[in-house]
Structure formats: structure tokens, C-alpha cells
Structure 1
Amino acid sequence: MVFTPCDFSFPTTGIKAEATPNTEMILVVDVDIDLLRELNAFGSVRNLKDRRGDIYEIRRVGSD
């Protein structure tokens, strides 16, 4: 499967293409990289930018 954002200009299911299950094959799909960049910056689904900073934080673990 090739997953896409569930946003405008992409399939509502979030699946761009599917291969046949349990079959060896190559799946080739065209994806507009510029459209992905635009949706990342201005799309309606912006999970990382909309998360609550008071609940989640990023910390480096190890080598202390």
C-alpha cells in the first residue's frame, strides 16, 4: 500500500494504491512532492504542528 494524507487533492481513504495481498509484485505510484510539501505547511491535517506542547515533549535519551 502507498499511504497519503487524508486531505484535499488526495484519496479520502488515505490509500493511493494497493497491491494484491500475498503476491510478489512491484507497486509504482506517482505522488506530487510539491503538493505534499504544501499540505504539510498549510493543509487541514497538521498533527505535529497542532499537538499540545503541555502534554508532549521531545527529549533525547541515552549517553548521560
Structure 2
Amino acid sequence: MKNRLRELRAVHRWSQADLADRLDVSRQTIYAIETGRYDPSLPLAFKIAALFGKPIEDLFSPEEETGRKP
């Protein structure tokens, strides 16, 4: 899943730790989401979207799969 978390965090000038504190998660969780190693739970995704005042669709999108046929 692709996300805009790093970009939006930078706009607010928040560190990963700042964002983690606001979301009540670890800094490692923020890092893992930003790098695509972890997809947030739906409740966490909604919490992130609410914090940034954006719909979930503006923050997260599925990665396009290439080379695969349906």
C-alpha cells in the first residue's frame, strides 16, 4: 500500500516521534507505515486521516501491480 504519511508529516514539521505521540503508537510503527513494511489497521488509518483532516483515500492507495494478469 502506498501512503502520503511522510509527506504530510513534513508539511506539519512533525518528527516520526511527534506523529507517534499524537496517534498513541510507537515511532517504529510510523517508520514501518511510511516505508510500506506495515499496513495500518483500519481504526489506525481512520485516526491518521482524522488527524490530518483528510479522507482515507487521500492518504492511502493500493500499490499498482505490474506484470500480473487477472
Rg: which structure is higher?
A: 1
TM-score calculated relative to the size of structure 1: 0.27
| Greater relative contact order (Cα < 8 A, sep 6+) | 2
Query: Per residue, is there more helix in 1 or in 2?
Result: 2
